[in-house]
Each structure stands twice: as C-alpha cells, then as structure tokens.
Amino acid sequence: MIERIELTKRFDKIDPLSIKNYLDFGGYEVFKKALKMKQEDILNEIALSRITGRGGAGFPVSIKMKSFAKESGFKYVVCNADEGEPGNFKDRYLMEKDPHQIIEGILISAFSTGASKCFIYIRGEYAKAIGIMKNAIKQAYKTNHLGMNILGSNFSFEIEIRRGAGAYVCGEEFALIESIEGKPGRTRVKPPFPTQVGVFDKPTLINNVETFCNLPFILRIGGTEYSKIGNEYASGTKLISLTGNVKNKGLYEVPYGRTIREVIEVLGGGVNDNKKISMVQLGGACGAIIPESLLDMDIDNEKFNIFDSKMGAGAIIVMDESFDMFDIILKNMEFFQHETCGKCMPCREGHIQVLNLIKKFVRYSANEKDYLSLESLAQVIHETALCGLGQTSMTSIISTMKFFKEDYQQRIKESLFKEEYYG
C-alpha cells in the first residue's frame, strides 16, 4: 500500500452538510479529549509528532504554536484556505468533503494556545467550499462546538469566514492578514512575525487547512506514534494533488518517504497513450521542474533543497513529451507577472523582464547574453524578494537551468540558425 488514508478517511462516507454524520464517525471526540488535557501537554504531543506546516514552507508547527502560546491578550487563529497555487486542490477537497475535521483541528490549536477567534480565509473562487464551511460553522455553533463555554468548558471560541477576492498573493500569510483587515493584499516586513503582530495587530497563529486537519489525527494516535509515519525529514501523511498527463488524476494521501515515481505510476496509473514523461513540476507553479530521471526522489527528500523547493503544497504536475518546456515556463511566468503585488521592486520590475527574456526562448530568438541575463535575474529575484511569491516564482527557471541546461543551449543554437537562415 502506498496510500495511508487518515485525513481523507471520511471522504464520501459522510455527508459534509451533516454534523451528525461526523459525530457518528467519532468526530469531535479528540477535541473533547483535548479539552480535558493540559495545554502544554497538547503542545508537547504536537512537538513529538514532528509535524511541519502543510502550506508549502514546511515550518515546524510546534515551534510556531509554542511561541504563539506564550503571547498574551486577545489572540487570533487564521486558517489559510486561499489555495491559489496552480495544480493544488487538496484544501478544496478537505473543505468540501469533511469540513468539521478542519473545525476540530482549529479548535484544538486554539484551545492549546489560548486563542479566542478564528478567521477562515477561503479562496474566492471556492464557492461550494465556502457554502459547506459556512453550514458546518453554523451547525457547530448550534451544537455548542463553537460559541460560549464550548461543551460545558471554560473555553469560548468563534469562527468567521472571510472570502478572498482572487489574488494569488493573499495565500502569503501577511498579505492574507492584510486582506482580512480589509486592505489590499500586500505583505508586510518581517519581523515582527504573525505570531507576535498579526491580524489587527494581535498575535496570530496562521496555518494551512491540511495542517489543522492533522491535529485531531496527532492527538488520536499520539505524537510519538505519528512521528513514525514518514521518514527522517518529515512525518505524517501528505495530500498530493496529482494532475497533468496521468491516467488517474486526483487527490491522494501518501505518507512522507514514498517516491514521486510511485505516486505517478502506481496511483496515477502512468502516463496517457504510453507517452514518456518529459518533466514533472512539483508543488505548483512556484515549484521545481525536474526530469524523469529524478522521480525516484522521496516526497520531501533533502535533495529538494538543492533548488530551495520541497514538495510545496503537494502538487505533482506530470508533463509528457508533447510539451515544450519553454511554453510551460512562459505560462508560469505570465501567471506570476499577473499576480505579483507590486510592493517590492525586484518582484514588481523583475517579472516583466523575465517574461521578456523567456519569450525570446519561446520564439527562437534567444542568445547567450539572454541566457546569462535570465540566470542572473532569476537568482536575484529569488534571493531578494520580500515575500514567498518572489522568492519561489523563479524556481521553475532555476531548476530547469540546472536539470535542462542542454535544452537552453539547444534553443540558443536553434535561434542562431533561425536568424541566419530566415533573418
């Protein structure tokens, strides 16, 4: 078995519109157990689990939660459901198929850290998910899983949904916080970090949907047990959004440590029409493009660090030999050029120039100088941009320059040929 079904186990078995279904399935039991635990015990279990954030950056969850728990006063939890990364749809599934699992995870994190209110920031295009989440929250209030003195305890908690307005950058934590406050989605300077100064200048714990969903699971089986799932670099399961030229596209839950090839070939059923895989993009538009020869890497293998990209949010986009690599990069860059917020200069002014340079490769009019400019520019944007958008947007270029350098050289030769013969 490659899959390990934990977060997705209730999918299609319960009615997402019914809290009763969820309760019958043992829902909110872990939260009830948590209510009787000491806060630091919960945080310790989470620390033992070694869980890392599932939104893409992979920051250790317990470090964030512990530093947040130390803050005093009114505190917010934010659930990042702005899933804007192309190729990802795991959060949508989690919201549409098992909304109460998310609420339970949020409740556990809020109870263990002393937070009083949560905003769930959902991508604007996810109309169905928004409806389902709203319904779930209403039911949770009715059954006193939310509101004052939850289930007879001293713990009171509110959840409010905020709908995004379509900006990709609002998935970045500070842009998201600005957006919740009603401002345009542009990031802030760090430090201070959200756990210190976040929504409305209050300490804020911000996590991805999938991260919250893992908390009931961790407390159910215990942190130590959880940490055994996966490999030495990452624990637990990961939801993989598998798309592109594979037979069985869809969402899969896989423990860390399995290889990308396994996911594509066993779960995805390989490539359509017996074509060959030419490249695979990991994580989404901001992820690395790797050749077929690297598919035996683990999901979250340390090797990923060589291009500063881990699994990201968990997308695997498979492309067969019918695709031109430069077209793919062009599409990525057009996306980022459209989505850059404009706040910091390398990102704002850089993407349009990257686009110009990539267009030269697409149109067979690139030369060695263009290659060097592109290489230097991509590296500068990656290293100097203010937020995650600019820091990761160049990954497809940086990774292809590493793994497909001969394609660039070939394109430059062909450009020269084209110029010489066709002018």
Nearer to another protein, 91 or 339 (CB): 339
Question: Is 191 a binder of another protein (CB under 8 A)?
Answer: yes
Answer yes or no: are the C-beta atoms of 47 and 223 closer than 8 Å. Answer: yes
Let me know if 379 is exposed, middle or buried by CB neighbors in 10 A (0-12, 13-18, 19+).
Answer: middle
Minimum CB separation from another protein for residue 380, in Å?
4
Which two structure tokens, joined as six digits, stand for 47?
Answer: 């620390």
d(CA 252, CA 366): 40
Which H helix or E strand runs over 79?
Answer: strand 76-81
Q: Nearest distance from residue 56's CB to another protein, in Å?
A: 15
CB 292 within 8 A of CB 277: yes
Query: Segment contacting another protein (CB under 8 A): 19-27, 61-69, 199-207, 339-347?
Result: 339-347
From 241, 340, 395, 399, residue interacting with another protein (rule: CB under 8 A): 340
Q: How far is the CB of 397 from another protein (least distance, A)?
A: 14
DSSP state letter for 303: G
Give the residue, chosen from 190, 247, 276, 303, that forms a contact with another protein under the rule CB under 8 A.
Answer: 190
**Residue number with CB closer to another protein (93 or 408):** 408
Binding mask 375-404 for another protein (x = CB under 8 A): -xx--x-xxxxx----x-------------
Q: Which is nearer to another protein, 320 or 375 (CB)?
A: 375
Residue 53 in the binding site for another protein (CB under 8 A): no
> Residue 362 class from Cβ within 10 Å (0-12 exposed, 13-18 middle, 19+ buried)?
middle
Region 342-361 residues binding another protein, contact defined as CB under 8 A: 342-346, 348-353, 356
Burial 19-41 (b: 16+ CB within 10 A, else e): bebbbebebbebbeebbebeeee
How many residues touch another protein under the rule CB under 8 A: the total is 35
Residues in CB range of 376: below 8 A, 6 or more apart? none
User: Which of 65, 62, 153 lies closest to 115 in space, CA to CA?
Assistant: 65
328-332 contact pairs (CB < 8 A, 24+): 328/279, 328/281, 328/289, 328/396, 329/289, 329/358, 329/361, 329/396, 329/397, 329/400, 330/355, 330/358, 330/359, 330/362, 331/285, 332/285, 332/393, 332/396
Residue 336 beta carbon to another protein: minimum distance, rounded to whole angstroms: 9
User: Cβ of residue 157: shortest distance to another protein, in angstroms?
Assistant: 33
CA–CA separation, 242 and 3 (whole Å): 13
State the minimum distance, in angstroms, from the CB of residue 196 to another protein.
12
Yes or no: say if 23 and 38 are a contact pair by the CB < 8 Å rule. no
Rounded to 10 deg, the angle between the 209-221 and 39-49 helix axes is 100
Please state, in angstroms and rounded to a whole number, the distance separating the CA atoms of residues 10 and 252: 14
Q: Are 404 and 318 in contact (CB under 8 A)?
A: no
CB of 422 to another protein, least distance (A): 23
Contact mark string toward another protein, 151..170, x via CB under 8 A: ----------------x---
- The answer to whether 264 and 246 have CB atoms below 8 angstroms apart is yes
In angstroms, what is the minimal distance from the CB of 395 to another protein? 13
Q: Is residue 264 part of the contact set for another protein (CB under 8 A)?
A: no
Tokens representing 50 are 């070694």
Those residues whose C-beta lies under 8 Å from the C-beta of residue 191, and which sit 6 or more positions away, are: none
Does the footprint of another protein cover residue 303 (CB under 8 A)? no
**By C-beta, is 261 or 348 nearer to another protein?**
348
Of residues 124 and 184, the one with the C-beta less far from another protein: 184
Site for another protein contains 186 (CB under 8 A): yes
Single residue of 142, 338, 405, 413 touching another protein by CB under 8 A: 338
Question: Nearer to another protein by C-beta: 94 or 386?
Answer: 386
**Taking the complex as a whole, how short is the minimal distance between the CB of residue 340 and another protein, in angstroms?**
4
Residues near another protein, by CB under 8 A: 167, 184, 186, 189-191, 308, 337-346, 348-353, 356, 369, 373, 376-377, 380, 382-386, 391
